[in-house]
Structure 1
């Protein structure tokens, strides 16, 4: 692992802790999870018990009150695994879903839910994306209608990670006539009218469950409104920055891991009278890809540092997401190429990384959407 400008001894301790957890709890078992399509709950509970699910949350609920840099260290260390389905299962819980409760939840809501979220006893998902609305949050069609002491939700959500096996869902819905009049709601699993429409089959991220969610006259207590009524659009947009930094960390972690695997392979693989490393074109290509990865990593850490300083980071993070989403596909594709035929065999880590990398230029904001976010801020 290369050192960054912002590293501390505590960061290295966290990296070591995550590496031990991956070696003990994940790598020996994750092939089975790829086949079954989800990560066992007991593994997630052990992560919570290890203190890895509440790094940025309040200590009174079991959190560590760490900063955005520490949270980034966790995401990047986690992404040294070659099982991205496991990684995204965790990062959706820690960086994409539960932050809505952390940022907007009332004292009563946090008292009710946050301890179990941090302990890994309650796993979370976030319901924003719909068949016709992804990054375009204003295009959400799921509705929330006030009815006395309840809200009634109707609509469909799509591509929801942890959608099948989560316990607690943070759901965005139109709560008024305005284009951006969106509110966030807490929906518990098992609420009448709330169901998983179907589990979705994907090309990659095989050990993460992904679902279509259906809300058919789902009645929830008025107390389950998360944050201010009609202000959910801004809550979602704010949390997109945390989500995109986490995805960028995932991309950079995959680049680093793919390069390490490929350097080992080309030094051992014999061809044309010697190791592949003796071929100048391979040495130079890997060197350039490593240079790009190291540069992206420094930008990643700089963005997280700017969060700790309270800066407006939307343009920077949009650049970062676009850059790393494209870079991980460039790096992993080249690394797979240098593995030759073995790079196309399902049992190899590089083939899994290649499949899993593709969605990082799509999910959490496609490259084209990110570049528009950059351009309109010049």
Structure 2
């Protein structure tokens, strides 16, 4: 049995039961269709909105329940991965893009943008990564020129999650000549000059649509600027801790689900006259993974509590993201190995899980970047030592 999770209250478990029942009854059977078409249907985003599960933090005046407790988002993500697919990126909509509107939008901007995001009529995405920049966001080339009553936006972005079905994009663009002088702009898909490029084919996560997008002389109204036009880099850094916590939640939820899929399989699959799970090597590997999953869950749950109080440090968020994504990779790899040849077949869930998990050590900051952040936090940065 998994280790008890004492950070959750009875209200969170009641919410889990509600989410679980709905997903099992209404969405679990849709996953094959989502995988074939390479995106979640808009009606399913809308269903999450109808249930009140999008942007839980949004205040009532904007259509939301005003629940500022990340534990509910954690439970929602755990059940989504358990009963549908890790590629359903409602968490990116609510907890990656949403916080930029929550923290930096004016009340007038919130009145314009949040009701549709809460209802699921407006699907949100964030546009930061560019073809030649990767993790070096300070080096982006997309530019927003101040034209007096508007900004003129030109450039391109790639690897944009929700890029095909998205309606509203928070776009990072250079606003000056200094490195890292960046602004954040709200761009909607109906603006002249906005276009979508390729629907990118990926090794895994087929359910999560990923696209290239372009901006060709897009006139962005001044009142679509979030906060200060030169503070975008600082704003992104401010939101990264929660983003990486959500990424860690996804990774560990996926690892837990992969462990359970594998456990069921090795109890039933037989080799040399006995269940695969009866062999000592299988028992030892699974026992080790069970212990590490529980220990990692305890650390992650503590990070969630710190994030709730806005006390989570960048180093702790990086550590959570690092250990959860690395453990996810180990669990799905062991699970596929224990499935034997069956694990290589598309009809077995572990095959999808194996492919879907690989990106977790790359997006939201690579494992190497996470180690850099942690290393600098303990005084081992280049500047400190030279």
* TM-score (structure 2 length as normaliser): 0.95
The 1-side partners of 2:214 and 2:310 are apart by: 37
Post-superposition offset of 1:198: 1.3
Q: Which residue of 2 aligns with 1:283?
A: 283
Retained in 2: the 8 A contact 1:269–1:275? Answer: yes
Q: Is the 1:128–1:134 Cα contact (8 Å) retained in structure 2? A: no
1:2 CA displacement: 4.6
Residue 163 of structure 1 is matched in structure 2 by 163
Residue of structure 1 aligned with 2:77, choices 75, 78, 102: 75
Q: Which stretch shifts more, 65-74 or 158-167?
A: 65-74
RMSD after superposition: 1.3
Q: Summarize deviations over 1:325-366 as a string: whole Å, max 9, x none.
A: 111000110011101111111111111111100000011110
Structure 1 residue runs of 5 or longer lacking an equivalent are none
1:365 aligned onto 2:386: no
Using the alignment, how far apart are the partners of 2:167 and 2:180 within structure 1? 28
1:256-275 to structure 2, matched below 5 A, reads 256-275=256-275
Query: What SS is found at the alignment partner of 2:171?
Result: strand
Correspondence for 2:240? 240
Cα distance, 1:312–1:260 mapped onto 2, change above 3 Å? closer
Counterparts of 1:158 and 1:149 in 2: how far apart (Å)? 28
Q: Where does residue 16 of structure 1 map in the other structure?
A: 17
- 3-state secondary structure, aligned to 2:229: coil
Give the Å deviation of 1:135: 2.5
Contact 2:23–2:84 (CA under 8 A) maintained in structure 1: no
> Counterpart in 2 of 1:4?
5
Q: Residue by residue, what CA displacement relative to the aligned partner does 1:131-156 show, whole Å, maximum 9, x if unpaired?
A: 12233221111111000201011111
Q: Distance between the aligned counterparts of 1:52 and 1:119, measured in 2?
A: 9
Cα 1:211/1:43, change in 2 over 3 Å: same
SS at match of 1:7: coil
Whole-Å separation in 2 of the counterparts to 1:31 and 1:9: 33
Q: What pairs up with 1:267-346 in 2 under 5 angstroms?
A: 267-346=267-346
Name segments (4+ residues, structure 1) moved above 3 Å. Answer: none
Cα contact 2:55–2:98 (8 A) shared by 1: no
Shift of 1:186: 0.5
CA drift of 1:241 comes to: 1.5
Give the aligned partner of residue 189 of structure 1: 189
1:109-141 Cα distance to aligned partner (Å, 9 max, x none): 110110110111100000011112233221111
TM-score (ref. length: structure 1): 0.97
Contact 2:181 2:232 in 1 (8 A): yes
> What does the per-residue CA deviation read over 1:296-324, in whole Å, with 9 as the maximum and x for residues that have no partner?
11111111111223324100010111111
Deviation at 1:75, TM superposition (A): 2.2
Equivalent-residue separation in structure 2 for 1:15 and 1:250 (angstroms): 16
Corresponding residue SS for 2:34: helix
Relative to structure 1, is the Cα distance of residues 200 and 92 closer, same or farther in structure 2, using a 3 angstrom cutoff?
Answer: same
The residue matched to 2:235 in structure 1 has which SS?
A: helix
Deviates more, 1:366-375 or 1:13-22: 13-22
